[in-house]
């Protein structure tokens, strides 16, 4: 198993550009989520999904869109990037509702918006 | 989910036990205590979780007080590779899957 795979690992954008951060897991996990982490801060939840076709907002959803068309994939879209979205983004998955809740994280995607 | 309070930073000598405290005074009866750690800039890693009994696995031990208002994560023989930020989280099993991370404790293991 590859676990949780995030691409790209590094990205530089200009203000106003759009892009998609990809996240894929091969563990058949129902639950997937996206976090962002800024310097000196803990992780803040952006969006999450409890299964294919179901998504919901976390703590800091503004400026981001998600969709969950398959169990394996949970892409995060930035429609119009802003410097405030410069951050490290982590995708995570777990077996889902009612289980122990152990989250498996990807290695992160480092985004810089100029 | 209940909030947690952790010290900002701690130091530990290599080979000694590292004891990381967490306060969760508003924890509910059906909320579990989880610990994760984040080494440098990697993705966080699950360590251990428990409800009310003490738990031990190959990585650490978790001691939860009888009133469940606080807990301690114990790394029995800390190594330099245990230097990381440690997060204590409480959540309801079977409830919302979203975990809310605070700022955690930065543990530095010194040679």
The mean pLDDT of A21-38, rounded to a whole number, is: 94
Which range (A48-52, B9-13, B26-30, B36-40) has the least confidence?
B26-30
**Rounded-to-integer distance, Cα A60 and Cα A73, Å:** 21
Q: Give yes or no for a cis peptide into B4 (omega within 30° of 0).
A: no
pLDDT of residue B100: 74
**Rounded-to-integer distance, Cα A18 and Cα A8, Å:** 14
Nearest to A31 among B42, B94, B97 (CB): B97
DSSP SS3 for A63: coil
- What is the residue-averaged pLDDT of chain A? 91
- Asked if B62 and B33 count as a contact pair (C-beta separation under 8 A), the reply is yes
Chain A interface mutation, best of B7, B98, B102, B106, highest count of A Cβ atoms under 10 Å: B98
pLDDT of residue B31: 85
- Asked if A99 and A31 count as a contact pair (C-beta separation under 8 A), the reply is no
Chain A positions contacting chain B at CB under 8 Å are: 4, 31, 33, 35, 40-45, 48, 50, 58-59, 88, 90, 92, 94, 96-108
Nearest to B41 among A88, A103, A106 (CB): A88
Which percentage of chain A shows pLDDT scores above 90? 76
pLDDT in tens, A11-29: 999 999 999 999 999 999 9
State the nearest Cα–Cα gap between B99 and chain A, in angstroms: 8
* Cβ pair B44:A105 closer than 8 A: yes
pLDDT in tens, B45-100: 999 999 988 999 999 999 999 999 999 999 999 999 999 999 998 877 655 556 77
Cβ neighbours of A4 in B, within 8 Å: 43
pLDDT of residue A2: 78
């Amino acid at each position: 198993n590859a676990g949780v795979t995030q691409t790209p690992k590094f990205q530089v954008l200009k203000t106003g550009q759009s892009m998609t951060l990809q996240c894929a897991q091969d563990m058949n996990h129902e639950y997937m989520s996206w976090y962002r982490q800024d310097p000196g801060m803990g992780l803040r939840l952006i969006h999450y999904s409890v299964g294919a076709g179901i998504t919901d907002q976390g703590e800091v959803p503004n400026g981001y869109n998600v969709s969950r068309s398959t169990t394996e994939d949970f892409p995060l879209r930035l429609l119009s990037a802003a410097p405030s979205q410069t951050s490290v983004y982590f995708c995570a998955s777990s077996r889902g509702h009612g289980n122990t809740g152990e989250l498996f994280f990807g290695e992160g995607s480092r985004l810089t918006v100029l | 989910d209940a909030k947690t309070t952790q010290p900002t930073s701690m130091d530990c000598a290599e080979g000694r036990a590292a004891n990381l405290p967490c306060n969760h005074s508003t924890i509910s009866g059906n909320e579990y205590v989880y610990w994760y750690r984040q080494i440098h800039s990697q993705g966080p890693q699950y360590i251990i979780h428990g409800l009310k009994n003490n738990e031990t696995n190959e990585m650490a031990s978790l001691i939860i007080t009888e009133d469940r208002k606080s807990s301690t994560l114990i790394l029995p023989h800390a190594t330099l590779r245990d230097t990381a930020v440690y997060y204590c989280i409480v959540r309801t099993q079977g409830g919302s899957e979203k975990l809310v991370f605070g700022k955690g404790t930065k543990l530095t293991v010194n040679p």
